[in-house]
Structure 1
């Protein structure tokens, strides 16, 4: 048993991936934080396309960074000590306590490194248990993968180490919700099954009373209570993996449906696609993810996102014909933005002398920016702030583009990349003057092409509104008001709304009973 001096622990596991574990953990983090509990998130091992950079430059899963924000605490690498970032088929970059460790294939990781990873994760868990009153642990995938059980360090093994009660989450939207719950229980050994203290049925749509018979049957068959049936909620909180891309905002806008048409290239190894969430909030703007030249059409703006493998995804652009489609788009006077790996692709050359991106070699880029990139094994991960140069990407094409000077507006973002890019300043201008004295990015002489390493650039809502307004003016449309809700305010509202939604439908008395306390104050005052 966990000593009384250590934090209580509650673990959210799922019957499958993308059933809503991360959002429920986020809701619980904010709910308990609002009650004055010193609460923190933990996920021992995470596989994610989207990552989060801590204040000290560590890289963790985006979900744990978001959950730390919901807890109103500073995110640390203890909250996600092992991060796996898919890089190639069956190969992932292994991040250990926020730092790049190695690229390993699935077999090598499971047969060799998992044994090293487990004590690293356990030590991180112990530090958090000694620092906080309550930990909200998140599982990964399903705990019932029988072929992976002996190497699974993200589910029941962590529940045992934390002495955590487990709540099992199932997604009713997939169908077969009762079968998925019963099947998961049946595949667990008895000691693990005993840890499951409650169920949550998530993403429910329709009449609640039509589900009552099934809930009653489930509780009678298992002896485990259903703590909540959560109605579907489209909350504005960042997603983490590629499954979320498939149903992003529940709609795929058609060309011509919105006044502004934005096409994001859906690279096979796309990463940090949460960069583009704010674009969905812009009035009259439609965001489409496209995978081939036929789908591209005639957008007002093309965005090439970040990627876990710039070279491989650039070769894919060539194979699909999207490279030529992007060049034709630019020749017609339209705008192109590249973020991180997308920025590297916009340059003239890509050099991979250390075979960081694969087999090594030299590649000619799209040539839309006078930038050369050299890949090296040293990864840069840092939160950054800076000032936009003016004239800039927001400057009308017919305005003088000489002698850029920093504006007073501060931009924030974060860097996660291996390459070092060099700009020929005789042919293009930098994008941002950073607080540490460096310059970031490049803007073409015609002001139509922008490349930057700044992830989260569109979360600077004023800049995003300026960009869409500039496109509106160029199309003969009236600009919108410059008044926007700051990103920090939006996030706080989203966390609180999610917490209220979950608490409204959650049996709090049973939850407190599971945690072994009459109320939240029992955690604070123990």
Structure 2
């Protein structure tokens, strides 16, 4: 029966675009759930975010770099992450400057106002967005798009290519997510509709109220008020869900994990990136992951994690400024210290940046000196899905998988590598990486998502368990993508029971 009806449904379907009045309103989660639901119904669906600002990124199938959130949405939709899912990625390097990645490739490092006023880079970005829309609409039954931040800001709207312009180019039905948890959602909805020019107002087909706590009946009067004022329906009210672990878009998603006896401290320095590396730890019921930003908060952990960083030099300067550099030295040999990518680089002796692409200014910079490894930053960025083989410890001879996004290459000046990377994007390589100094309990690795590999996670956590006097154990053998699908299915069931998805994709 489904096979007979499905082609008819698809022929009437229209793309969907989710916007909001603010960041962190739940757009990414709602888009992910819609993709999951439609994919399981048999639709060939694609995520799309024209422009994203995020320090969390991921390799695409083409070998380019896209936002981690759109990679997540691709996996949820049952497709491989592509540069066309996120044609413009902005990665902040400082409070005024960012790296601009267009169709997967780093194109420039500019001040924010330079990006807005640079005609050449803007044309490149606009053309990339339009080319991506053409590609996706040709290859997929449906595209589920997502806006960025607030959908209409008067100082940006004339140059905004993240919200209503791509929605218009997609010819999509637009739905506005209102975050009721932070208050003012009904007024925000009215304010947005009052601000929009008529042609964009027509694209809006309704509102979705998100993150509600309490009795939905209490909203009845307010919902009727908003519908009367705007002429647009409220499609549904979604509850606040606080135990959902999806791949993060920005540092607002950084939060503690668990309540077990194994105490883990995550150092949350500025420009922390790809901290989804720790998300697989939710599978471990004996861990507690605390977010640490000062020596006082460090406590007496059994494991300290130095995560990735977009600007390792700035993160090191911050650690020195707040005193975490000296605090970390006290745990040498008494707690496991794990550095991942930028965190691994920060653990070393010298960071050499001859082009100034990491620090912003060419030079040599001191690391924490916890390990005898230097880092040299090249002009070319390595962006790859990678496979490696362990060289030492409990992972000797074992294959470890993950992904790489970095310019830094380790140079060994006394310590030995932990792994050798054998494959990048399907191509054979031979690159020594990481470090393992057992006597000092130091572990470093460049591969993101390595903790998502159960064997590597066992290796690290069992060392920490030994420090804590806890019994060793084996992790649940579940990949990070399988874990992701389990998590999104929780929210998808809520969406299915709350929103009329057929009406959202109906072109009538």
Q: Do these two structures clear the TM 0.5 threshold for a shared fold by scoring above it?
A: yes
Of 457-466 and 148-157, deviating more is 457-466
Is residue 2:86 matched to residue 1:80? yes
Is residue 2:504 matched to residue 1:511? yes
Partner in structure 2 of residue 472 of structure 1: 465
1:466: how far off? 4.1
- Pair 1:445–1:286, CA change in 2 (3 A): closer
Distance 2:28 2:476 in 1: 32
Distance 2:495 2:99 in 1: 34
Contact 2:388 2:419 in 1 (8 A): no
Partner in structure 1 of residue 185 of structure 2: 177
Counting only pairs closer than 5 Å after superposition, residues 60-459 of structure 1 correspond to structure 2 as: 60-112=66-118, 113-233=121-241, 234-245=243-254, 248=255, 258-331=260-333, 333-356=334-357, 357-392=359-394, 406-407=396-397, 409-424=398-413, 427-435=415-423, 436-446=429-439, 448-459=441-452
Runs of 4+ in 1 over 6 A off after TM superposition: 4-7
Partner in structure 1 of residue 7 of structure 2: none
Is residue 2:482 matched to residue 1:489? yes
Distance 1:195 1:171 in 2: 20
Of 195-204 and 322-331, deviating more is 322-331
1:155: how far off? 0.6
Partner in structure 1 of residue 5 of structure 2: none
1:162: how far off? 1.2
Matched residue of 2:89: which SS? strand
Q: Which runs of 5+ in 2 are unaligned?
A: 1-9, 424-428
- Pair 1:167–1:133, CA change in 2 (3 A): same
Q: Deviations over 1:294-322 (max 9, x none)?
A: 21121111111111111111111111111
Is residue 2:20 matched to residue 1:32? no
Distance 1:95 1:7 in 2: 32
Of 352-361 and 470-479, deviating more is 470-479
Distance 1:478 1:458 in 2: 19
- Pair 1:107–1:382, CA change in 2 (3 A): same
Contact 1:369 1:428 in 2 (8 A): no
Distance 2:222 2:151 in 1: 23
1:229: how far off? 0.6
Contact 1:53 1:59 in 2 (8 A): yes
Q: Deviations over 1:225-263 (max 9, x none)?
A: 111111122322112112222xx25x7x8xxx6311111
Distance 1:300 1:445 in 2: 15
- Pair 1:511–1:276, CA change in 2 (3 A): same
Distance 2:371 2:12 in 1: 54
Contact 1:282 1:465 in 2 (8 A): no
Contact 1:430 1:441 in 2 (8 A): yes
Contact 2:335 2:467 in 1 (8 A): no
Of 469-478 and 36-45, deviating more is 469-478
Matched residue of 2:391: which SS? strand
Distance 1:133 1:118 in 2: 23
Q: Deviations over 1:376-412 (max 9, x none)?
A: 22111111012222325x7xxxxxxxxxxx42x3221
CA RMSD, Structure 1 to Structure 2 (Å): 2.0
Of 444-453 and 266-275, deviating more is 444-453
Contact 1:42 1:79 in 2 (8 A): yes
Q: Deviations over 1:157-213 (max 9, x none)?
A: 111111111000011100111111111111111211111101100011111111222
Partner in structure 1 of residue 3 of structure 2: none
Distance 2:312 2:96 in 1: 17
Distance 1:40 1:241 in 2: 22
Matched residue of 2:300: which SS? coil
Using structure 2 for the length normalisation, give the TM-score: 0.92
Using structure 1 for the length normalisation, give the TM-score: 0.89
Distance 2:29 2:214 in 1: 21
Q: Deviations over 1:54-85 (max 9, x none)?
A: 13321001111111111111221011111000
Contact 2:386 2:421 in 1 (8 A): no
- Pair 1:274–1:8, CA change in 2 (3 A): same
1:445: how far off? 4.9
Distance 2:227 2:47 in 1: 29
Of 483-492 and 367-376, deviating more is 483-492
Contact 1:29 1:40 in 2 (8 A): yes
Matched residue of 1:437: which SS? strand
Partner in structure 1 of residue 426 of structure 2: none
